[in-house]
Chains A and B, each alone.
Chain A
Amino acid sequence: MKDVSFGQYYPTQSFVHKMDARVKILLIIAYIVGVFLVASYHFLGFGACLLFVIIATIFSNVPFSKVLKSIKGILFIIIFSAIIQIFFNKSGKVIWWIITDEGLLNAGFIVARITLIVLGATLLTLTTSPVEIADGIESLMSPLKYIKFPVHEFALIMSIALRFIPTLLDEIDRIIKAQKARGADFESGNLFKRAKALVPVLIPLLISSFRRADELADAMDSRCYAGSKNRTRYKKMHLTYRDLLGFILTAGLITGVVFLNGFYVLLVI
């Protein structure tokens, strides 16, 4: 159960870690847009995105292996979408059996796209603690306050959810062990049987989550928590030269991608 930790915050000191969380979130969104901007089959654009990830990783002091591990978690999705593209794409020239050149290109394109997006997103979670991300999102969404959207509460819900993931994993581990000791079998049988075997785990988990939520609410109440009104912060976020550099690099990436889209066309002609 503890293996689900890919993309978990990697505590260290670095250029990227010290960047403003809000900026990092915006830049990652821009980066993802950049990945999507790469026009069909213009693989050089992906090269630019990869370069961006590599530079960002170097500046973040996070070992490359940590970043690459994130792909392991979505390997199934990657392989699945590649297979669908390879075997079910009917357009283009047939190379062998039912496999077409367009299918292969599409598969490569999709694999590159998913991988790059996940790498970028992982880099964000590796270098930004959950609390910072929640604070960042709250600050980014603050304009929505004017249309009476409960921004602070929304951010609070998010940070509580993130905070409780490890607690719930421990809890699941405990309940699974207890039910295994009573003869529960989670490893054998078909998909339906296995899904049914999870009922004795999910129900106690649900009940204890409600109990925990109640207790947490009481604990917050007894500390006079009252939401966003007049609340001050321990850590204030401000922009620094690092964020400016980040902006410049990302802007460079997007221009590069757009440029390479055109450039590739020129090369083909």
Chain B
Amino acid sequence: MRIVAEELNYVYSEKSKKLAVHALNGVNLTIEAGDFFGIIGKTGSGKSTFVQHLNGLIPTDSKHGKLTVGEFVLSNKKCDYKALRAKVGMVFQYPEYQLFAETVFEDVEFGLKSFYPNLTKEEKEVMVKTAIETVGLNYEEIKDKSPFDLSGGQKRRVAIAGVIVSKPEILVLDEPVAGLDPQGKKEFISLLHTLHKTTVKTIIIVSHDMNLVAENCNKIAVFCDGKVAKVGTPKEVFTDYENIKKTGLDLPLIAFLTQKLQEKGIEISTNLTLENFIKEVFKKHEEVKAKQREGGNR
């Protein structure tokens, strides 16, 4: 499903003149099916408001621009939000705090109950099992446990299983690795890539963590003051140093190093992953050495 936003506007407390806050000021953005999309921006840039539009948690109407997600026209009043929410899964910051049921199974099953009330018990069981196994947990071992007895990382996985159980085509994650230790973070990112390869077509990450988006997303949108300041590949976005500075963001580590090297007159072309960067630096090093040798020989 393709997401297209045209001149999307949103104002908090629109009716009150004093308290009105323009969160979105004409957002134009297209997210293709299959993207691993990153949305970055300072606090208050409108990125959270924007993603909450995607599954109708913040309803919009035709007066505030146009928003379509696949065949759903959200700016149309008759939009079926329930069907939409089954297709657009949303994982909020610290999703483990939304667990409530007595067992892991019941918690994961929650979404199915309301999205697809006509499923048989067996069908539901299969779907829950698939979801729990997709997030890398042992179904038999965990299904009857209380979600509150699990570790933090496991809780987060269960919460995500509860979202992907309804087989969404788009998965939106708000600060997905906040509060995880480095190892947990690594595992979680690889889980996202597995999801992207297997079940969920489009993944959208909202984050403050520049390294996370630079290394994992194929496309990035930079939000600033309720507008999209820049869209492009990580390389396009993070080599536009001036623009990044203007939006009040930091460069990811690799982009920062590349910039520093550039200032010293060393041009390195990288796609902003650590591996690639190291490879390129070594290549440059070899080149320079070779040149010196040549110079020495002459």
Residues of A at under 8 Å CB distance from B? 2, 174-175, 177-185, 199-201, 203-204, 207-208
Contact = CB atoms under 8 A, between A and B. Distances in A.
20 contacts: A2-B13, A174-B92, A177-B52, A178-B90, A178-B95, A178-B98, A179-B110, A181-B85, A181-B163, A182-B110, A182-B162, A182-B166, A183-B111, A183-B114, A183-B115, A200-B100, A200-B110, A204-B100, A207-B148, A208-B97
A180 B162 CA distance: 12
Interface in B90-108: 90, 92, 95, 97-101
Contacts of B114: 182-185
Interface residues of B, number: 25
A185 B81 CA distance: 10
Contacts, number: 57
A182 B111 contact: yes
Contacts of A203: 100
B50 to A, nearest CB: 14
Contact of A183 (B97, B99, B110): B110
Given A174-B92, A204-B97, A208-B97, A183 B55 contact: no
A203 B85 CA distance: 22
A208 B57 CA distance: 22
B279 interface: no
Contacts of B110: 179, 182-184, 200
Contacts of A2: 13
Interface in B38-54: 52
B210 interface: no
B113 interface: yes
Q: Which 8 A-B pairs have CB atoms at the shortest separation, nearest pair first? A: A183-B114, A181-B90, A203-B100, A178-B98, A182-B111, A183-B115, A200-B100, A183-B111
A184 B95 CA distance: 15
Given A175-B98, A182-B98, A182-B114, 14 more contacts: A2-B13, A178-B90, A179-B98, A181-B85, A181-B92, A181-B163, A182-B163, A183-B86, A183-B110, A183-B114, A185-B82, A200-B98, A201-B100, A203-B100
